[in-house]
């Protein structure tokens, strides 16, 4: 199972989402992140991806891990992944658009879930509220959640 990451920037009652402009997940709003490269830690990858995708710099000590998400794709085993999710309220620079992502600030109680991944409404409100969670989702070939899923608080 490949290792991926997501990072959400938070200021006050707002959270930064980014619209994916190309590749896997195009057209969806999400946190920034991606695949962990060989030789990288998850935290190093999160910092690199955030810098590449929206131009901000995060110090390792400013990342707070808020979730472990496990995604299984019934018909696309190569898409299976474990995603470490981080949140931070400390960074350097101003989020800017790149070739891959277009950032935008949203009130945490008015997120565009209809334009996000289908699993996001099941776990993202919990981490925004300060919970640390673990979640397991199984997707069918249409990208729908197949059967049951599990989201549990770990602290």
Statement: residue 124 has pLDDT above 80? yes
Domain holding 31, by residue range, is 2-153
Statement: residue 155 has pLDDT above 80? no
Q: What is the pLDDT of residue 147?
A: 75
Which CA distances in Å does 130 have to 12, 65, 87, 126, 155? 13, 11, 10, 7, 10
pLDDT bucket at 140, cuts 50 / 70 / 90? confident
The CATH number linked to 50 is 3.90.79.10
Interval 57-70 mean pLDDT: 98
Q: What is the DSSP letter of 19?
A: E
Rounded-to-integer distance, Cα 49 and Cα 53, Å: 6
Reading the block at residue 69, the tokens are: 């998400």
Rounded-to-integer distance, Cα 12 and Cα 43, Å: 23
Return mean pLDDT, the chain: 94
Interval 69-96 mean pLDDT: 94
> Tokens 């959400």 label which residue?
8
pLDDT bucket at 24, cuts 50 / 70 / 90? confident
Percent of residues, the chain, with pLDDT higher than 90: 85
User: What string of DSSP letters covers 48-87?
Assistant: HHHHHHH--B--GGG-EEEEEEEEEETT-GGG-EEEEEEE
CA 9 to chain centre: 10
Reading the block at residue 53, the tokens are: 């995708």
Statement: residue 90 has pLDDT above 90? yes
Q: What is the pLDDT of residue 143?
A: 77
- pTM of the predicted model, to two decimals? 0.94
- Domain tally, the chain: 1
pLDDT bucket at 141, cuts 50 / 70 / 90? confident
């Amino acid at each position: 199972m490949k290792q991926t990451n997501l990072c959400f920037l938070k200021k006050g009652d707002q959270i930064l989402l980014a619209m994916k402009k190309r590749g896997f997940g195009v057209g969806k709003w999400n946190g920034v992140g991606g695949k962990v490269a060989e030789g990288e830690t998850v935290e190093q990858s999160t910092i690199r991806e955030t810098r590449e995708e929206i131009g901000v710099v995060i110090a390792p000590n400013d990342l707070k891990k808020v979730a472990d998400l496990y995604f299984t794709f019934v018909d696309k085993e190569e898409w299976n992944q474990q995603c470490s999710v981080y949140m931070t309220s400390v960074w350097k620079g101003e989020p800017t658009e790149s070739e891959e992502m277009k950032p935008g600030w949203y009130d945490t109680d008015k997120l565009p879930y209809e334009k996000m991944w289908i699993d996001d409404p099941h776990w993202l409100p919990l981490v925004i509220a300060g919970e640390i969670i673990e979640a397991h989702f199984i997707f069918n070939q249409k990208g729908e959640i197949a059967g049951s899923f599990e989201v549990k608080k770990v602290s």
